[in-house]
Amino acid sequence: MSQNLAQLAEDAFARLGDHEALVFEGRTWRSAELRDRAGRTAAGFAALGVLPGDRVVVLMANCPEVLIAYGALWRAGAVITPVVFLVSGDELAHILSDSGATTVVTTAELLGTVMRVTDRAPDLRHILVAGGDGDAGLGITAAGAGVTVTSFSDLDAGAASGIVPRSDDDLAALLYTGGTTGRAKGVALTHHQLAGAGRGLWEAAHVPGVTRTLTPLPLSHAYGLIVSIAGLYADEPGLAIVQRWFNPSDWIGLCEEHRVQRSALVPAMIQMLLAERLEDADLSSLRLLGSGAAPLPLDVLQEFERRVPGCEIHEGYGCTESSAVVTASRPGRRRLGSVGTPVSGYTVHILDDEHRPLAAGEDGEICVRGLGVMSGYWHDPEASAAALRDGWLHTGDIGHLDADGYLYVVDRKKDLILRGGFNVFPRDVEDVLLTHPDVTGAGVVGRPDPRLGEEVVAFVTLRPGAAAVSADLVTYAREHLAANKYPREIRIVDGLPLTSVGKLDRKRLRTLVQ
């Protein structure tokens, strides 16, 4: 049976019928309206010249148009390339060039970022601007780039199209991640892989009658995307309340207003909620919180559950390369400190450095097989071969299984910084700092932070006679990196610690920021 995501959406509508499906900033959208918009927009994409297999960047904060664009592009046979709205111009230029994207769907406030990099995106032909305020200045052509800029809403002017046939192994999404080193790499995920991951997540997390959800996660992030795909397997109508972006006081207000029963968060969001007056809010409807993308401290979990009686937090584990899913904590069967057991269609082994299985309780590398494991990195066979060895995805994370198959993650990828639930890769930050004319060396590590999980800290050496001070370098980094990536603290040092083979010694750097 085909796992075409567009067909899964069509099947879900046939199964559940027309119902109130989405609330966004005071407006309610019915499932029939969303389906109709996706069908007509798919026809508009085809008329624009978007072909099956074309990559289309979707660069927006959360809004209904994100889901409409995804549904339309899958109906048209295209490949969604979601990009988090915090992206910098340099990062966006790399994604556009590397993916060969022909089209960008964005909003008015991000249009300037896209326009500034069109000269570095040789395959880009169309920019579509969504949102009620996005019509001003449309119909123009980006100077010198041959790129048209038009309104996204113009695409749904005609009749709805059918679903372009795609096989299970055709690409559905190209998600950019830094992996463990180097520049962002495109994780290639097929219809079959995303559908399998979505089904596994739904089967693990589903609770009958819990149908009112609040979604603050970026729909452009692997975690937010797979949560939305899991909803295609629902067996009863549900209502999703979507936040443009997470704000703790607004999250609480939406829970109260809509009697929310569950939400998916990252640990930094949970920690922000603990800074609010939760006891003054009516959160009695809240039953389940999913937590992923970063480790959740046990004391944070326990404090939240103490202050919001009747709500349980369930941790899960995954990575972009596994379609954001590997394990999940089942309702009624969780173990504190664990990220649960493998979801349906996934297998986890703990392997040593010689690729030998380890016994229960022994720490080693977490390696994964499963329906949702990526096909590989886009146009990067060497990185693909390194990550996918002997049929297993090597995550680079360290953990162990207990005797009952519950997974415990004891350490993260060696160099990865997790700031507010987003991956920050030190080399990306270092490469930018090294472009400053006064900087001769740079080393970046994460410092534990009670609110964000980790904060980015940079150490730099300067050329003799340099005039730059730390504040100048922070400003420079902010101008060239996404808001979630630039270091808020930059320390100027006489020299960077090196290993015996001349490599940057991050372990020693970390001891300076603990």
Rg (CA), the chain: 23
Per-residue model confidence (pLDDT) at position 267 = 82
- Helix (H) / strand (E) element for 239: namely strand 239-242
Task: Please compute the mean of the pLDDT values over residues 79-107 and round it to a whole number.
Answer: 94
What strands lie across the sheet with 185-190, from one edge to the other? 141-142, 147-151, 126-130, 103-107, 55-59, 79-82, 171-177, 185-190, 376-377
What's the rounded Cα separation, in Å, for the pair 223 and 212? Answer: 18
pLDDT tens track for 366-385:
999 999 999 999 999 999 99
- Helix (H) / strand (E) element for 126: namely strand 126-130
Phi, psi of 194 (to 5 degrees): -70, -40
pLDDT tens track for 304-348:
999 999 999 999 999 999 999 999 999 889 999 999 999 999 999
Instruction: Please give the biggest Cα pair distance in the chain.
Output: 71
Phi, psi of 10 (to 5 degrees): -65, -40
Q: Which 3 state secondary structure label does DSSP give 270?
A: helix
pLDDT tens track for 187-233:
999 999 999 999 999 999 999 999 999 999 989 989 889 999 999 99
Lowest-confidence segment of 8-12, 141-145, 360-364, 382-386 by average pLDDT: 141-145
Task: Please compute the mean of the pLDDT values over residues 490-513 and round it to a whole number.
Answer: 80
Per-residue model confidence (pLDDT) at position 508 = 87
Per-residue model confidence (pLDDT) at position 504 = 76
Which residue type is seen at 180?
Answer: T
Per-residue model confidence (pLDDT) at position 269 = 86
Which residue type is seen at 431?
Answer: D
Question: Taking all residues of the chain, what is their mean pLDDT, rounded to a whole number?
Answer: 90
Per-residue model confidence (pLDDT) at position 363 = 87
Which residue type is seen at 233?
Answer: Y
pTM of the model: 0.84
Count the neighbouring beta carbons within 10 Å of the beta carbon of residue 310.
10
Tokens 């020693």 -> residue: 508
What's the rounded Cα separation, in Å, for the pair 429 and 389? Answer: 29
339 is written with which tokens? Answer: 């990220």
Per-residue model confidence (pLDDT) at position 416 = 77
Q: Is the dihedral of CA 321, 326, 328, 334 positive or negative?
A: negative
pLDDT band at 179 (very low <50, low <70, confident <90, very high): very low
3-state SS string for 146-186: CEEEEEHHHHHCCCCCCCCCCCCCCEEEEEEECCCCCCCEE
First and final C-alpha spacing in the chain:
52
Mind giving me the DSSP string for 185-204? Answer: EEEEEEHHHHHHHHHHHHHH
**Residue 261 near residue 211 (C-beta atoms within 8 A):** yes
Domains of the chain: 5-188 (3.40.50.12780), 417-511 (3.30.300.30)
The DSSP bridge pattern shows strands 20-24 and 489-492 to be: unpaired
Alpha-carbon distances, residue 95 vs 118, 122, 149, 263 (angstroms): 12, 12, 19, 30
Choice between 138 and 507, residue whose per-residue pLDDT is larger: 507
Mind giving me the DSSP string for 322-347? Answer: GTT-SEEPPTT---TT---EEPTTEE
Per-residue model confidence (pLDDT) at position 141 = 47
pLDDT over 70, % of the chain: 94
Count the neighbouring beta carbons within 10 Å of the beta carbon of residue 265.
26
Per-residue model confidence (pLDDT) at position 271 = 82
pLDDT band at 413 (very low <50, low <70, confident <90, very high): low
Tokens 């609040």 -> residue: 214
Asked whether the predicted pLDDT for residue 48 surpasses 70, the reply is yes
Q: Which 3 state secondary structure label does DSSP give 251?
A: helix
